[in-house]
Amino acid sequence: MIGLGVLVSFCAIVFRRSSSERQRPPFPQRRSARWGVVVLVAALLDLATPAASTAQSGVPDGPGQSSQPGPARPLLDSVQIDLGYTYDDNVTLDRAHDEVLWDQSLAFDASASRALGIADHARLVVTGLLSGAKFNRYNGLSNLSGGLDAELQYRQSGAFDAITFAAFARGWLDNYASHLRDGSHYSVGVNARGAVTDRIELSGELAWNRRHAQSEVWDLTDYSARLDLDYSLGRGGTLYLNGEYRRGDVVSDGRATLVNVSLAKVFVLDDAFPDQQWFAYRSEARTWISTVGYNLPLGQRTSLDISWRRVQSTPTARLDFDVQGSLRYVDNQYSVVLLKLF
């Protein structure tokens, strides 16, 4: 329960705002969104009791089997809490060298899952989600989000090489120190995963993503395709590689230059960088995201995850004048995360 107390304290830090730090206009809809996140926090903490069982395999069981028979089954199948540190070398997502800003953040993620059997080969997995990040230099980027993930899974059998197919819907409520970013986002899509060998596992996902915010700049829509590869080292841990392609809206920050204004669909003065007089620009782009990482087990229910995430985004719009240098931006994120399963 000490870990839960730390989580509550961290949530309090993220929500604490001084009157001079942010003057918020009266948006009743954001008030309800904030309380929705608070209610989710309370629900997760109430459910995360020692009665929770060990993690499930993440796929439906074989024919005629239930994931955990008997009346003694706990309310939740798994509860996981992650605490991490990230260094980001381009939080503005800008391409101009003098407009690129770096920052570092502390973050947490919590999830609580329950699987509901609906047929011999299918089940519904419902997961409550909570995440937050506290930035050091630019507090406007600090945020707290809560949401729900519902995934309908189908697996023909319990055989080792059987593939699990799924359709999912996910939704979040977002609360930022920058009130322009407050809002919600959701995703719908399909995925599949399965074992190639006793050491290699592959998974793929296709999704449509939509976000709504206080400012039109962060009203974003994109399509994404992702492929994940995990390679088990046995007791030595797991190496993993993720690749993702997105086509749709992106937001970057910078000065009011001719290039930025010409590429943007809409822009606004960004309240996350009050001392810089930076503008946030929404434009359409092709984005590649790649992640390489290593997960080291520290025990049966604890592990340490080290990763490097690289984001490269290139605008799809064509300009009517010559531009010196590339229009794309590159962002690198280096993370160390401690994962605990209850």
244: pLDDT confidence band, cut at 50, 70 and 90?
A: very high
124 burial level (CB within 10 Å; 0-12, 13-18, 19+): middle
In whole angstroms, give the CA distance from residue 247 to residue 147: 24
pLDDT number for residue 68: 46
User: What is the mean predicted confidence (pLDDT) over 258-273?
Assistant: 93
The CATH code of the domain that includes 56 is: 2.40.160.40
127 burial level (CB within 10 Å; 0-12, 13-18, 19+): buried
Least confident of 49-53, 104-108, 171-175, 215-219: 49-53
> Does 9 have pLDDT greater than 50?
no
Domain membership of residue 81 as a residue range: 2-341
In whole angstroms, give the CA distance from residue 269 to residue 301: 45
pLDDT number for residue 130: 98
Residue that is written with structure tokens 């839960």 in the block: 4
Least confident of 23-32, 126-135, 205-214: 23-32
> Does 243 have pLDDT greater than 90?
yes
Q: 295-330: per-residue pLDDT in tens?
A: 999 999 999 999 999 999 999 998 888 888 788 999
Q: State residue 214 phi and psi, 5-degree precision.
A: -65, -35
User: What is the mean predicted confidence (pLDDT) over 120-137?
Assistant: 97
Q: State residue 173 phi and psi, 5-degree precision.
A: -110, 135
In whole angstroms, give the CA distance from residue 74 to residue 13: 31
> Does 21 have pLDDT greater than 50?
no
How many domains does one find in the chain? 1
